[in-house]
Amino acid sequence: MSDLPRKAVTRTARLAALPLGIAGRATLGLGKRLGGRPADVVSAELQQRTAEQLFSTLGQLKGGAMKFGQAMSVFESALPEEVAGPYREALTKLQDSAPAMPTTTVHTVLAKQLGRDWRAQFRSFDDRPTAAASIGQVHRAVWADGRDVAVKVQYPGAGDALLTDLSQLARLAKVLGPLIPGMDMKPLIAELRERVAEELDYELEASAQRVHAEEFGDDPDIAVPGVVAQAGQVLITEWMDGTPLARVIASGTPQQRDRAGQLLSRFLFAGPARTGLLHADPHPGNFRLLTDDGPADGWRLGVLDFGTVDRLPGGLPTPIGTSLRLALADDAHAVYTLLRQEGFVRPTITLNPDAVLDYLRPIIEPTRVEEFTFTRDWMRAQAARIADPRGPAYNLGKQLNLPPSYLLIHRVTLSTIGVLCQLGSTVRLHDELTAWLPGFTGDA
């Protein structure tokens, strides 16, 4: 299927087939094991087929289904290897590829948004998409003034598809849970639904990208393509080459991994401080490592896709840096008081300050040392500690609250850490916090 299926019945049926297919394969696998085939061989086959079905279904449906898959993919580093392995390739592929919409549909959208003479605005236009994402696909072209540009074209009916998919996925959340064990699907889907309206608005995206492109225009470390033109469901920006971060994750050198991780950390904290905006879609498909900029310490991080941002006029909230500084100083009572003031501890709840600090210590470990190597093992250990019902972290975590104003910041931070663990980067995170996070040094 090359076009976006928009009928709710069709999309619902395809999404519903995901858990049915999983159940069917599980039954078949049991039969094979009873027939004498080794359990590990059968299990590997089942996981691989499930990953293939997941990618095929979400990729073909695009819309909210594909956005859901992208969101899941950044968390794979938290999963046990036997679960994560079969999904990694499929979900990484999902981040920057999907079946393309027909050329005639692309031309129809361009004519509607840019005018019937739209071709006159380009020296050339490649009908083959270079990338396809959840709500649109990108074509390479040459603008009338000779610049290489990326032309992002939104799928017709993408808005309806997003809402339909996310509503259906919310109903299937319990059944989809086994796809990514240990992850609570409902909050993830609810937050995605809240953000779709902004992501569908290319005018808002163009505005956010212009702000970043201007601020980082002469930056030695971060590169953002400039906006060339925008009209309705079409966004045209400067073209950016470079090595996709997904490729660095799959086969990058240690130098590439460390440099990409350092710059990704820098952008997480410097972006809000310098622009008042938080880039809120940190999956690997949205980043490039620009390795033509001389030696490794001169490589830059290219940042794409500003469809989802959090507006933070004063940068990241000062209480984040303050609480982190106090936690590193082992001031349990001050940390607890601040968390209660910010709403992380509800007024009706009383917790032991020392227990709260014990809960936080392993999570903030990367900020305590001069440099820290993020690994999948470390991420899995944190996930397992918090998800183990027998441990104190599980019970305490259930009593903590996440205020709405921190929801997106929290998800972006966790997602970025997930990518750092996929990269296996050694990062000087403390340096970035000192430079960019309000309250961390005690000066703000």
**285 close to 70: Cβ distance less than 8 angstroms:** yes
pLDDT in tens, 80-107: 555 555 555 555 555 444 567 889 999 9
Same domain, yes or no: 190 and 257 = no
Same domain, yes or no: 183 and 304 = no
Of the three residues 200, 230, 262, the one that is the final residue of a domain is 200
Question: Quick one: pLDDT at residue 21?
Answer: 47
Burial of 69 (0-12, 13-18, 19+ CB in 10 A): buried
Same domain, yes or no: 111 and 18 = yes
The answer to the question of residue 207 being in a domain is no
Instruction: Quote the number of domains for the chain.
Output: 2
Question: Quick one: pLDDT at residue 133?
Answer: 66
Question: Quick one: pLDDT at residue 27?
Answer: 41
Same domain, yes or no: 192 and 284 = no
The answer to the question of residue 145 being in a domain is yes
Same domain, yes or no: 179 and 314 = no
Residue 158 CB partners (closer than 8 Å, separation 6+): 4, 62, 63, 135, 136, 200
Same domain, yes or no: 190 and 301 = no
Same domain, yes or no: 58 and 108 = yes
**113 close to 234: Cβ distance less than 8 angstroms:** yes
Same domain, yes or no: 307 and 423 = yes
- Positions of the chain with pLDDT under 50: 1-6, 8-9, 19-37, 40-42, 74, 95-97, 178-183, 444
Question: Quick one: pLDDT at residue 91?
Answer: 54
Question: Quick one: pLDDT at residue 24?
Answer: 45
Same domain, yes or no: 434 and 300 = yes
Question: Quick one: pLDDT at residue 30?
Answer: 39
Same domain, yes or no: 102 and 177 = yes
Same domain, yes or no: 190 and 328 = no
The answer to the question of residue 255 being in a domain is yes
The answer to the question of residue 210 being in a domain is no
The answer to the question of residue 227 being in a domain is no
Q: In which domain, by residue range, is 299 found?
A: 241-444
Of the three residues 144, 171, 200, the one that is the final residue of a domain is 200
The answer to the question of residue 215 being in a domain is no
pTM: 0.77
**306 close to 209: Cβ distance less than 8 angstroms:** yes
Give SS3 for 222. Answer: strand
The answer to the question of residue 435 being in a domain is yes
Question: Quick one: pLDDT at residue 406?
Answer: 86
Question: Quick one: pLDDT at residue 46?
Answer: 52
Residue 118 CB partners (closer than 8 Å, separation 6+): 110, 111
Give SS3 for 224. Answer: coil
Residue 174 CB partners (closer than 8 Å, separation 6+): 185
The answer to the question of residue 23 being in a domain is yes
Question: Quick one: pLDDT at residue 5?
Answer: 47
Question: Quick one: pLDDT at residue 415?
Answer: 87
Beta strands in 216-256 (DSSP E): 222-223, 227-231, 234-238, 243-244
The enclosing H or E element of 355 equals: helix 353-360
Of the three residues 168, 200, 232, the one that is the final residue of a domain is 200
Question: Quick one: pLDDT at residue 380?
Answer: 84
Same domain, yes or no: 192 and 253 = no
Question: Quick one: pLDDT at residue 266?
Answer: 98
